[in-house]
Amino acid sequence: MNTAEIQALNDACIINTYGARKLAIARGEGATLWDADGREYLDCFAGIAVCNLGHCHPAVTEAIRDQAGKLLHVSNLYYIEQQARLAQLLSQHCFAQKWFFCNGGAEANEAAIKITRRYWAQKGTPKPHIVTADQSFHGRTMATITATGQPKYHQGFEPMVPGFRYVPFNDLAALEAAITPEVGAVMLEPIQGEGGVRMPADGYLRAVRELCDARGILLIFDEVQTGLGRTGPLFAHQDFGIQPDIMTLAKGLANGVPIGAMGCTDEVAQGFSPGAHACTFGGNPLSCAAALATLETLTGPGFLDRAKAVGNSFMDQLKALAAEHPQIVEVRGKGLMIGVEFKEPVAPLITRMIESGIICGPAGPNVLRFLPPLIVTEEQMARVVSVLAACLGELGW
């Protein structure tokens, strides 16, 4: 089918939650995508920070093929070797000692919210409230849209789930005031993604950790977007010299096979006992085999350092470009999670970029966001900068 045929079929039978889409992608390899009409693109969005190893990475493809020929699914009524090995490997690379697997980011955050509430309930000191940040994004289930500090995601879905309160990101005094005795946790993205690629202020995350310790409550990091090498280290919090009590992962964990994970300390893991939580597909052999191959590749020698260097040089070039274009308010981000804020909506710019063969996307109305696969080269990203410069020229920005 060509793009027009796919669009017509889509519009006839898909519920319109995504609006008009520009492309129908048919094939990918590395950082290159081809649409249904055969046009080629350089992918700078990686399926929203999912395909961190690029499309159809041979190690992941091989793991999927191999596992698909052995066993796809058995449910968590039985032990699953790939699931246990994935948990072990994840634990070798971060603070979390215990894991729960599910199918995506919202489910991982649901698990984090539920284990937090149950942890405090079991201790006999219920603290069901959770503080999150304005402009945050935590998913689309009822509890996770409630956790999401953006009213536009709540509209029409009221009543919200009780027990959430919001503070401005980077405002420590507001957080301090929000932590009353019924608050059991603070939940943050270490770098806000969907809300506009917003960086934590210097010292903010460390101060949040100290505040949580002082008040004896839990810190949850939603690393669904920032995790798996996206910002430089394997997990974003590792560059800030602190650890949360709970961390959630999804997007990049299996390079495109659906999976989510909630990891926590041994202490917090006590919050869930048999029967407390479950997920039919969670941690199934296929998704875990893909995640194992992904994680082994990401943590291979030099992989993350190389991606970080490409990100740094891309960032430098964008900053130089910003100096020549008054429409650019700020270039920010870390590693290969980069946002360019403009004075006006970026939709026309994204359209021009795609027409010029570069796939990128927004983060809120005025921020152009780049989330390329971590395997992109300096040459590819230099091409992105020159295409961007040309598109800005065409728009008179």
Ligand X SMILES: *Cc1c(COP(=O)(O)O)cnc(C)c1O
- Catalytic residue IDs: 137, 222, 251
Minimum gap (Å) between residue 248 Cβ and ligand X:
7
Amino acid at 314: F
Strands (E), 23-163: 25-29, 32-35, 40-43, 98-102, 129-133
In the complex, the residues that contact ligand X under the rule CB under 6 A are 104-106, 109, 137-139, 189, 193-194, 222, 224-225, 250-251
Compute the distance between CA of residue 205 and CA of residue 256 in angstroms, rounded to an integer.
29
Those residues with Cβ within 8 angstroms of residue 83's Cβ, 6 or more apart along the chain or in another chain: 101, 283, 284, 285, 288
Closest approach of Cβ 49 to ligand X, in Å? Answer: 7
Nearest to 145 by CA among 126, 127, 128, 166: 166
Residue 340 φ/ψ, nearest 5 degrees: -120, 110
Task: For residue 22, give the nearest of 385, 41, 32 by alpha carbon.
Answer: 41
Distance (Å, whole) CA 62 – CA 105: 25
Q: Which is nearer to ligand X, 208 or 388 (CB)?
A: 208
Tokens of 237: 């919090």
Amino acid at 65: R
Pick between residue 108 and residue 289 the one whose CB is nearest to ligand X: 108
Report in angstroms how near the CB of residue 250 gets to ligand X at its nearest: 5
Cβ distance to ligand X smaller for residue 204 or 392: 204
Min dist CB 391 to ligand X, Å, is 26
Rounded CA gap, 358 and 351, in Å? 10
Output the smallest distance, CB 193 to ligand X, in A.
4
By beta-carbon proximity to ligand X, the closer residue of 70 and 157 is 157
Residue nearest to ligand X (CB): 105
- CA dist 247 and 189 (Å) reads 10
**Distance between CA 318 and CA 310 in Å, rounded?**
12
CA 375/CA 349 separation, integer angstroms: 25
Distance CA 249, CA 251 (A): 7
Return the number of the residue (197 or 391) whose C-beta is nearest ligand X.
Answer: 197
Instruction: Report the half-sphere exposure of 26 (CA within 13 A, side-chain side).
Output: 11
Q: Which is nearer to ligand X, 35 or 134 (CB)?
A: 134
Q: How far is the CB of 80 from ligand X (least distance, A)?
A: 21
